[in-house]
Structure formats: C-alpha cells, structure tokens
Chains A and B, each alone.
Chain A
Amino acid sequence: ILNVEQSPQSLHVQEGDSTNFTCSFPSSNFYALHWYRWETAKSPEALFVMTLNGDEKKKGRISATLNTKEGYSYLYIKGSQPEDSATYLCASLQGGRRALTFGSGTRLQVQP
C-alpha cells in the first residue's frame, strides 16, 4: 500500500488568513496528484488534477503546486472564508496501480 501523507491533520484559522497544507507521496512511478474538497454533509469534489513536475493550478483563491521529483504538493488558500471550511484530501496515482491512494486529509475550520 502506497503512503500518502497530509499535514497538518487539522487547522483553525481566522477569516482573512492565508493558509497552506502539504501532501507527500512516493516520487517513484508517479502519474498524477489529485486534490479534493469535502464539505460536511456533501460529497467530495475535485479541485485539481496535476501531472507535471512544476505544475501550478489555480481556482479562485485556491491554488496548488506540484513537485514530483521530491514527492510533495502544496495547497494554498488566500484570504480564507468560512465557506472554505472543509476537509481537503489529496490522492496520488502511481504507475502500476490503476486507482488513487488517498491521504487522511487536512480538516480546515475558518472562524468568522
């Protein structure tokens, strides 16, 4: 079983703060890295799918970077809002395994 690690496990920030989380994954046989947002009482929704080393993706105030050589990805949220409160999951797809391996997630709570 592949090891996909996320840190921190949970995070409390104030509205307006910027924050970032880390996802680490095996750098060998890398194929793709996914980020999902999972709000309470809803289904997980995809934020980004990244495949190339150095990839940077952005959606509104949320952005992500990818370093496949060292096996990590960062997710950044600029000016956090209460509606950003959710669990953020990353998942890695490695060659030879035709399914994602998920990390345990970072739970973000944004206080108004």
Chain B
Amino acid sequence: DGGITQSPKYLFRKEGQNVTLSCEQNLNHDAMYWYRQDPGQGLRLIYYSQIVNDFQKGDIAEGYSVSREKKESFPLTVTSAQKNPTAFYLCASSDAYNEQFFGPGTRLTVL
C-alpha cells in the first residue's frame, strides 16, 4: 500500500540528548514536510523539502535539523538546542502544491 510511515510512535528522550524521527514515503512525492503540534495549537512548520538534496527552514526551525538524501526519506533530528521538544510531530508529503498526505505521527516526550 502507498503511504507515509513514521517511527517510532512514541519516543522518550532525556534532556540534553539528540533524537532522530523517521519519515518514509512510497508515494513518489517530491515534497516532504515536518510539522509540530502542541496542545490547543495548529500545525506549525519546522522544515520542508521540495526536492532531494534541498530543504528550507519553516517557522520554528531552531533546534531542529533535517536531511533529504533520498526522495523517500526525510528524517528530523531534534537536537539538545531545542528548548521545549515535548510535542506531537507529523510528517507529510505532497506532489507539488497539491493535497498533503500525512503520516501517523510521533509523540516525543522529554524526561
């Protein structure tokens, strides 16, 4: 089945540790996106990539890093510089500016 997978579903991290969230898609989409959701807020854009080997900062990129070495994969690293990393993280992909398809999300908790 075509779709987007994210792993893990739940992730716990100690303060000061970096952690990487996985996002893979087999929809052959060029564009991929990372969003963060906090309680009572909408989706806020962290990073996005329109094509392999290229990515741009979104609205809240500080403390995060990404790579786009393959079309199918867009991993997000939450670094120790991110002051408040506990949140729900959603990955999405799209064909140009058409509708976005979302993964199931990863809930990150910093202990």
Chain A residues with CB under 8 Å of chain B are 1, 4, 6, 31-32, 34, 36, 42-46, 49, 89, 91, 93, 98-105
Main secondary structure, interface of B, reads strand
CB-based nearest A residue for B47: A99
Least distance between B34 CB and chain A CB atoms (Å): 10
7 contacts across the A-B interface (CB closer than 8 A): A43-B105, A46-B100, A98-B97, A99-B58, A102-B44, A104-B40, A104-B41
Is B45 a contact of A43 with CB atoms below 8 Å? no
Is B43 a contact of A99 with CB atoms below 8 Å? no
- Interface size of B by CB at 8 A reads 24
CA A98 – CA B47 in complex, angstroms?
Answer: 11
Please give 19 more A-B residue pairs, beta carbons under 8 A apart, in addition to A43-B90, A91-B43: A4-B42, A34-B99, A34-B100, A42-B104, A43-B4, A43-B101, A43-B103, A43-B105, A44-B102, A49-B98, A93-B97, A98-B50, A100-B45, A100-B100, A102-B42, A102-B43, A102-B44, A102-B45, A104-B40
Chain B residues with CB under 8 Å of chain A are 4, 33, 35, 40-45, 48, 50, 56, 58-59, 90, 97-105
